[in-house]
Amino acid sequence: MDRLRVCVFCLGCKVNQNESESIVGALIKSGFDAFCEPKKADLYIINTCAVTGEAEKKSRQAVARVLKYNENAGVIICGCASQNSYAQFSDYPNVLAIIGVAGKSLLAQLAVRLYEGGAFEQSDLSQRKKLADSIFSDIYRTDSNLHAVGGDKAENACVLELPLEFEDYATDEAEVMKTRASVKICDGCNNFCSYCLVPYVRGRSRSKPIERVVEEVLKCAQYRREVVLIGIDISSYGLDIGTSLLELVKAIKLALSKNNAQIRVRLGSIETSLISDELLIEMQSEYFCPHFHLSLQSGSDGVLKRMNRHYTADEFYRLTQRIKNYFPDSFIATDIIVGFPEESDEEFDQTLRFAEKVGFSDIHIFKYSRRKGTRAYSMEQVDGNVKLERIEKLNEVKRQAKESFIEKSIGQTARVIFEERKGSYMFGHTDNYIGVYLNCESLRNNEISLENKFVNVKLTGKKLDGLEAKL
């Protein structure tokens, strides 16, 4: 057959997206036609999600979804949903192999062996599966560094023990011309919030060494103008290797300065406990964006305690004010879970009032999803209709807060990186993450020359979900 076409279909968080792009890069390096866009392929690798029940349901549905492009394609399952329960995928006849979170770095090797072994020339699905299992076993069940937990319960499944050290398989092969890159600096989580499965399916926090992170950021700077430092919990970065996020920020800042790099850096979602004056001072640099995504989850102390979140609403508020003292125009976003077990009307009202008091730049709203295996699973649940009513109220607070934040920037000059063309406009983001639209008809030169460059613009007025600008 011609060059194997492989689609890495991703569900879930930015970490999953980063891992999927790394898998694509490794497949390209192996000689395959690999991509993330859902389209016809010979092999689909589905990187699943289990953060909510709906995400896990979509992960199962993804098998049927990709097979609509090619009903004879092979499928490999990986990620959090299969780590949580591989059995939910094992009965699909096209599924050739199932792993969990660990071992993704071996997927390109598995694809090569399947291709060389003639698995995709085998039209009989049962025979293809038999051949695939032999190859799969050779790779996943014999590596001395990987220990199967339950791999003997299904022919094509081998969910491995979650690693204690960072599994590094970054590559610069995938989509190098995108404006924004991401660098995964850590994996896993030690927090064990009462509603969350992540520590159980991702394992404990483990970090990439500082020198490797710096190396990747500098590599990104050769092609791109923005990089986001991501991880399941970047606040825990370095705890397992004797360092910290503060030391990483210092090292990145020094390396970028020495190399006169033309790139800006954003931090991914971060816990409040980590943000110190020293960190904020280090971030007062042309290289770091005044962009903070702080996971609040609730503005009620009672709910926060039941969630096993280790701060009070007042402590969170004081932190946001400290950030604003250092960065008056900072973008401060948050996550809020609505309808957590036993959340009363008064507790929800406390969250509404607190969100208004802080004045967030954006709010990501999540309906509580009951996850078996978590402590919140056995708590008294909130009625579904009540959750929807509360989401509607919080959405209005979100709309007003976002609009207020954006309007404060009208009339200012801002640094923008333009990322793409939307109709007759170039679209990009400011350092503090405001979406900016620049009318192409107003440009004297070809607008393509503005892509992937720092451009200073005047923000003139509201436009859709952001602001319109002129040079």
What CATH number does residue 187 fall under?
Answer: 3.30.750.210
- Of 224, 259, 289, the position where a domain reaches its end is 289
DSSP three-state, residue 205: coil
Tell me the per-residue pLDDT of 35-81, one tens digit each, with 9 for 90 and over.
999 999 999 999 999 999 999 999 999 999 999 999 999 999 999 99
- Of 289, 308, 333, the position where a domain reaches its end is 289
Residues 369 and 392 in one domain: yes
**Contact by Cβ (8 Å): 355, 397:** yes
pLDDT value for 79: 96
pTM value?
A: 0.92
Question: Does any domain span residue 158?
Answer: no
Question: Does any domain span residue 369?
Answer: yes
Q: Which of 65, 64, 75 is nearest to 99 (CA)?
A: 75
Helices 345-358, 384-407: inter-axial angle, 10-degree rounding:
10
- Of 153, 188, 209, the position where a domain reaches its end is 153
In angstroms, what CA-CA distances link 169 with 1, 67, 430?
28, 28, 31
Domain count, the chain: 4
- The CATH number of whichever domain residue 51 belongs to comes to 3.40.50.12160
CB atoms within 10 A of CB 411: 11
User: 203 phi and psi, to 5 degrees?
Assistant: 85, -175
**Contact by Cβ (8 Å): 354, 326:** no
Residues 97 and 187 in one domain: no
DSSP three-state, residue 229: strand
User: 269 phi and psi, to 5 degrees?
Assistant: -60, 135
Residues 444 and 461 in one domain: yes
Residues 20 and 136 in one domain: yes
Q: Residue 331's domain spans which residues?
A: 295-408
Residues 387 and 417 in one domain: no
Question: Does any domain span residue 164?
Answer: no
pLDDT value for 446: 55
Q: Which two tokens stand for residue 85?
A: 């329960």
Residues 227 and 262 in one domain: yes
Residues 338 and 453 in one domain: no
Q: How far apart are CA 164 and CA 200, in angstroms?
A: 13
Q: How far apart are CA 467 and CA 457, in angstroms?
A: 11
Residues 250 and 303 in one domain: no
Residue with tokens 């995938």: 174
Question: Does any domain span residue 163?
Answer: no
pLDDT by residue for the chain (471 residues), tens only, comes to 578 999 999 999 999 999 999 999 999 999 999 999 999 999 999 999 999 999 999 999 999 999 999 999 999 999 999 999 999 998 899 999 999 999 999 999 999 999 999 999 888 888 898 899 889 888 887 654 444 444 444 567 888 888 888 988 765 544 445 678 999 999 999 999 999 999 999 999 999 999 999 999 999 999 899 999 999 999 999 999 999 999 999 999 999 999 999 999 999 999 988 899 999 999 999 999 999 999 999 999 999 999 999 999 999 999 999 999 999 999 999 999 999 999 999 999 999 999 999 999 999 999 999 999 999 999 999 999 999 999 999 999 999 999 999 999 999 999 999 998 898 899 999 999 999 999 988 776 555 578 888 999 999 999 999 999 998
**Contact by Cβ (8 Å): 340, 298:** yes
Question: Does any domain span residue 170?
Answer: no
Q: Which two tokens stand for residue 236?
A: 């825990």
DSSP three-state, residue 6: strand
